[in-house]
Amino acid sequence: MKVLFMFIGLFQSSLTQDRTFLLSRQSFAIDLFKNLSRPESFIISPASIDFAVSALFFGSSQQTFMEMMTGLHFPKNYSMNMIQNNFMLLSRNLKNVKGLEIGTIMYVNESLTPQHNYKLTIQRVLNAEIESIAFAQNVQAAQRINSYVAQKTHNMIMEVIDQNAINSGITMILLNCIYFKGTWQYKFLKKNTFTGKFFLDETNTVPAQFMTQKTYFSFGYIEELNYASVLSLPYKNSDMTMLFVLPRKKDGLPSLISNMSMVDWSSIDKIMGEIEVKVTIPKFNISFEQDVDGTLKNVSVASREMEFIADHPFIFMLRAKSSILFIGQYTGDNSKPFVETAPFETTYIPDLNVSNMLNME
């Protein structure tokens, strides 16, 4: 039996949620980011993986239920019904975010039929689709899957799977796409762009294009991260924000990452205040093929003016309300950051019994 998982993230309300559940999703996102951390720049979408793997969790057998609960960081005292209800609220809240589109689909081998109750569950909870497909016809199957992704990402991603990766032995392909396109609420003017130095460490630098502006932003310091500075840049007419977290030391990123679990990121806005800040960040572009093209600098106070100047490695998050949709780091390396699309670590879903999801007769 072969089960193929694919997770796609792309950059370009409100029902009340259980706080314990939100903290568990935050824990999952941070833990996933830390486990995938590497020296070079990169970006992942923990929300995309969360939605897709949770679709499998909802069909898990009693034997794998507790192990998946632990791997996915769900509260130990939560029932399946509690988790599903919270995911349903999360799905509805995200659906109302302007500029954000989420698609979850399960392609099932045409020789199998989804269990009726399971199909209803993932449709109701995750707003997911289930479609029958002939994997034996690999060319047509690949075209169909790639067409779905192209449509969901507005043709920004035209191909996620090669026809040679598909064969009749595959039971299902589970796919999630998250797409967001927005513009800054406060635009950076082209005339304020300049070339500066980005520090790779305490001494080595590379040239970078920076952009700057001075206005009121949410800004603060995170005590648990050695008073790293945190800045929130809002998107226009949207609940989406980009959060930048900058260590005080130019070589402080590894230490910051190792201590990220100490922070309640769902309440990070409470430690920030609206203040006039001169913001200087590198020019950047976040997408599947050309992600973060830039950088950020250390916080300093000059005279009476607060500055947020990024010139060394930092972390960034794309958030919708309290949910972390994307998280990444920029380290100033020459390679472009990327969106993680590799298969999810299957250690979270050992001995998956798809009979709870599919009729195997």
> pTM here?
0.81
Q: How far is CA 297 from CA 246, 278, 310, 331, in A?
A: 7, 11, 2, 12
Q: How far is CA 313 from CA 189, 193, 245, 326, in A?
A: 24, 20, 10, 17
- Statement: residue 154 has pLDDT above 60: yes
pLDDT value at residue 358? 59
Cα gap 241→237, rounded to integer Å: 11
pLDDT value at residue 337? 43
pLDDT value at residue 354? 52
pLDDT value at residue 164? 93
When pLDDT is cut at 50, 70 and 90, the band that residue 348 belongs to is very low
Going from N- to C-terminal start, the domains of the chain cover: 2-182+340-359, 190-330
Q: Calculate what percentage of the chain has a pLDDT beyond 90.
A: 47
pLDDT value at residue 70? 87
Domain 2-182+340-359 has CATH 3.40.50.1370: no
pLDDT value at residue 15? 46
pLDDT value at residue 40? 83
pLDDT value at residue 222? 95
* Residue among 130, 59, 126 at smallest CA distance from 89: 126
Class for domain 190-330, per CATH?
A: mainly beta
The answer to whether 239 touches 321, Cβ cutoff 8 Å, is yes
Cα gap 298→196, rounded to integer Å: 14
CA dihedral 52, 112, 61, 123 (to 10 degrees): 40
- pLDDT tens-digit profile of 223-239? 999 999 999 999 988 88
